[in-house]
Amino acid sequence: MNMKLKSVIEHLPARALAIALMAAGMSLTTHAATALTGRLIARPLTPGDIATYGLPASTEVSGGLTTVGVGQPVYLEAEVNIAIPSSDITNVTWTLSHKPILSSATLQASPLGMNVPVYEPADKLTYQVAGRMVLRPDVSGYTTNDQYKVTASIYTKSEGTTNVTITITAGTYLGVGLLPGTYGCALCHDNPNPSATAPDKVDPWLNTEHASQFSRGIDGVLSSHYSVSCLPCHTVGYDTNALAVNGGFDDEALAYGWTFPKTLASTNWASMETNYPAVANVANIQCENCHGPGSQHGSAYGNTNFICVDYDSGDCAQCHDSLPKEYEVAEWDNSAHAQMTRVPSGSASRIACVRCHTAMGFEEYVDNLGSSVAYATNYNYEPLTCQGCHDPHDASNPYQLRTGTTVTFNGNTGFTVTNAGLGGFCMNCHNSRNGSATNSIVNYPQGLATWNGGSSFGPHDSPQGDMLEGVNGWTYGQVIPSSPHANVVTNTCVGCHMQSIASTDPAFTLAGGHSTKMSYVNSNNVTVDVTYVCTQCHGNINTFNFPVADYDGDGTIEGVQTEVQNLLNKLSTLLPNASGVVDGLVKTPSPKTTWTVPQLEAAYNWQFVNSDGSLGVHNLAYTVGLLKASIANLTGDANNDGLPDSWQTNYFGSITNPLAAPNACPAGDGIPNWMKYALGLNPMVAGISVNNGVVYQDVTALGDTNVVHIYTAAEVVFDTQPGLYYQIQSIGSLSGGWQNIGNPILGTGGSLSYLTSTRNNVQQFYRVVTTTSP
């Protein structure tokens, strides 16, 4: 490029730049800009990462905290929008823009190669790695301004540049400070006074297993092989790197001459408290394991900028991600909880969503249960991590869950569940939060609120709690029974979805446990149902889709999930399409305020069953009952056998009476019920057989001997092939539209016959079309 031209172009606005380039004979390619959405984080590095990505065994673990011990590594990671092609990222420049006066720390190359991905499963959906470095702080500083600030400038070919910054606090470990001669976190956080500025976290923490993990270990309570290898996770600040001298357990043990006991005995911990209080002060799993060293936080009178409060899973994964024994995080990585997207959370306009879609939102929700304040106002994004469900400080509830096991469904006008065991915790979110079925059906057509967050129609996604308990479906005033799962499965949701999987099983970490999945995709890309927990009651089954009964009435007993899906499909054919026309086609219903009340009732049940996602497994009786009741309300044929329920009930007392079956011949004349219904005949009256036919006597016409009525019928006979479905259709005028008659019929390989009375039809045409699915 001519240098004079270049110097001019650099100062031109965008439109003038295009004109200048065209005048110089150059082309200009324009494109829609993609937001860089860059960020700079402290990436967690877990034992699982070190093993998976082949890093040296000496690589130090990190929880991804922004408050770290002096001499310990911070694995810095610059990230940008994953939508940008990686080839478009040209360069990342790093600057340590601020550090304490006495610090000589510099940024160093990271040991993490580009084969190591972004850490959080949810973040992998949004971000990609642009560059990495390592900061190892060397002093803690002496003033409130003594922190480390790092800036990364990310350059791209076509998307511009962004500068991202992170602030790191380095400190020394204090310990909890409960033993004589020691001080630490308890100085401020062991205050039971509710009005105190610093909340009391120490007293409830003392009742957790974390608080005594080391002490029980050396006393021989945990196992017979407790050893030094357990200390990195069971003590505070344990890091034997020569640069990491920061008051951690290894430093204090060296300073005071404590060595690991040769024999595990019940007196070891008491002896250590008495003889080595400074070492015992940083033993067990304490505040600083999760929040980082507290020296700067304490010296700054509780300044929260000098301590880390982190909801990232890496905080827990620094210990709970080491297969095969510590598998919780590996399981969670494969869960839907780990992959919650930034939509619908992360926005003030979606505040009703964060109570279940973010870790902080859920914590705030449970903290305010029963109060009059808004359940959640914190819309900062974080997937539902360990800290979202488990309270690190409090063991009041089983497994340190944030709530008890009794839950009230606010969507179902206050229905309270008391029989769910640990599954009651899951139901805090896994229930329909969009109000009752009545609200949807009554208020929606009028544009009124259906729940306290809006006027949308139908249940919220994931109403598994309602389905399991058999509530909040539209029952048409009927008593629809429930299957026994809610009462016989110990801990309901947890009993099945968190079943234990052996480390030798191909499903290990892919199903069960904290993955909460009931199936997984194997190495052959085949989905495998994990039915171990089911076999206790259902026998030797290897699929959830095992046959039970012909719920859809097509004459074939298929798997329960197939039967339920067929009922869903049948119901959808009876509902309007996007144009408001009932077209008889399978569809995903999208209710409109103009739909009739019966259509809205049926659509609600379709959404309820479909959103539950189990296709009947959670509560088969309630699922089938709701769908059949909806179909019956729209067609008058609850058992889907082609005969109106009212006709069957009128003649046989019940639609379940075997004599009411379509192919039954209760009069003994060989003419089935379906044909007598089509011809308008009484199925209980036998005809008089004559050559090639049957004569039926009409008792109402006995006195009319001078008039003979000859009526007609139409018979359509067609050959079939196994595996194909056949749909009979009729039309009154060839200029009109064809209408389906009944449901598609599965071919048998033989001929099928359809007979219908033409007594009341002036003219009718018939045809049969084939399809591969019903």
Given this model, what pLDDT does residue 492 score? Answer: 96
List, for residues 128-142, the tens digit of each pLDDT value: 999 999 999 999 976
7 contacts: CB under 8 Å, gap ≥ 6: none
Percent of the chain with pLDDT over 70: 90
CA-to-CA distance for 485 and 493, rounded, in angstroms?
10
CA-to-CA distance for 115 and 232, rounded, in angstroms?
26
Please indicate, yes or no, whether residues 92 and 199 belong to a single structural domain of this protein.
no
Tell which residue, 225, 219, 214, 228, has the closest CA to residue 289: 214
CA-to-CA distance for 127 and 78, rounded, in angstroms?
10
* Band of pLDDT at residue 143, cut at 50, 70 and 90: low
Rg (CA), the chain: 35
Please indicate, yes or no, whether residues 256 and 161 belong to a single structural domain of this protein.
no
Domain assignment present for residue 48? The answer is yes
List, for residues 27-78, the tens digit of each pLDDT value: 333 344 568 999 999 999 999 999 999 999 999 999 999 999 999 999 999 9
- Residue ending a domain, choose from 272, 291, 310: 291
Please indicate, yes or no, whether residues 220 and 241 belong to a single structural domain of this protein.
yes
CA-to-CA distance for 233 and 227, rounded, in angstroms?
12
Domain assignment present for residue 296? The answer is no
Given this model, what pLDDT does residue 115 score? Answer: 92
Task: Give the CATH number, domain containing residue 147.
Answer: 2.60.40
More confident residue, 534 or 192: 534
pLDDT of 681 higher than 70: yes
Q: How many domains does the chain have?
A: 5
Given this model, what pLDDT does residue 372 score? Answer: 58
pLDDT of 705 higher than 90: no
Please indicate, yes or no, whether residues 68 and 143 belong to a single structural domain of this protein.
yes
Given this model, what pLDDT does residue 63 score? Answer: 96
CB 109 within 8 A of CB 75: no
Structure tokens at 649: 């009930």
CA-to-CA distance for 642 and 635, rounded, in angstroms?
10
Given the structure tokens 């539902």, which residue do they identify?
Answer: 384
What angle do helix axes 597-612 and 620-635 make, rounded to 10 degrees?
Answer: 160
Helix (H) or strand (E) holding 98: strand 89-98
Structure tokens at 49: 């990462």
List, for residues 76-126, the tens digit of each pLDDT value: 999 999 999 999 999 999 999 999 989 999 999 999 998 999 999 999 999
* Band of pLDDT at residue 332, cut at 50, 70 and 90: very high
The predicted model gives 346-351 an average pLDDT of 70
- Residue ending a domain, choose from 338, 370, 401: 401
CA-to-CA distance for 321 and 702, rounded, in angstroms?
89
The predicted model gives 153-174 an average pLDDT of 95
Please indicate, yes or no, whether residues 45 and 21 belong to a single structural domain of this protein.
no
Domain assignment present for residue 306? The answer is no
pLDDT of 720 higher than 80: yes
- Residue ending a domain, choose from 246, 274, 291: 291
Please indicate, yes or no, whether residues 21 and 59 belong to a single structural domain of this protein.
no
Percent of the chain with pLDDT over 90: 66
Q: For residue 46, give its domain range.
A: 39-171
Domain assignment present for residue 566? The answer is no
How is the beta sheet containing 74-81 ordered, strand by strand? 39-42, 74-81, 127-135, 107-109
pTM recorded for the entire structure:
0.81
- Which contacts (CB < 8 Å, 24+ apart) does range 691-698 have? 694/669, 694/670
Considering the chain, what is the average pLDDT of its residues? 88
More confident residue, 723 or 502: 502
Tell which residue, 268, 259, 269, has the closest CA to residue 212: 269
Domain assignment present for residue 683? The answer is yes
Domain assignment present for residue 361? The answer is yes
Please indicate, yes or no, whether residues 49 and 154 belong to a single structural domain of this protein.
yes
Pairing label, strands 693-695, 148-156: unpaired
The backbone region for 447, taken as left when phi is positive above 0, alpha when psi lies in -120 to 50, beta otherwise, is: left
List, for residues 484-496, the tens digit of each pLDDT value: 999 999 999 999 9
Q: How many helices, marked H, and strands, marked E, lie in the chain?
A: 28, 19
Please indicate, yes or no, whether residues 260 and 374 belong to a single structural domain of this protein.
no
pLDDT of 732 higher than 90: no
Please indicate, yes or no, whether residues 139 and 53 belong to a single structural domain of this protein.
yes
CA-to-CA distance for 183 and 174, rounded, in angstroms?
7
- CA 180 from chain centre, in angstroms, equals 48
* Band of pLDDT at residue 709, cut at 50, 70 and 90: low
Given this model, what pLDDT does residue 428 score? Answer: 92
Please indicate, yes or no, whether residues 191 and 69 belong to a single structural domain of this protein.
no
Domain assignment present for residue 320? The answer is no
Torsion sign, CA atoms 133, 138, 143, 144: positive
Given the structure tokens 């005969």, which residue do they identify?
Answer: 643
DSSP character for 107?
Answer: E
* Band of pLDDT at residue 761, cut at 50, 70 and 90: low
Domain assignment present for residue 474? The answer is no
pLDDT of 688 higher than 70: yes
Provide DSSP, 460-512: PS--HHHHHHT-SS--TT------THHHHSTTHHHHHHT----TTSTTTTTSS
Please indicate, yes or no, whether residues 139 and 193 belong to a single structural domain of this protein.
no
184 contacts: CB under 8 Å, gap ≥ 6: 174, 175, 176, 177, 178, 281, 294, 298
pLDDT of 24 higher than 70: no
The predicted model gives 347-368 an average pLDDT of 84
CB 451 within 8 A of CB 439: yes
Please indicate, yes or no, whether residues 90 and 151 belong to a single structural domain of this protein.
yes
* Band of pLDDT at residue 687, cut at 50, 70 and 90: confident
CA-to-CA distance for 141 and 692, rounded, in angstroms?
107
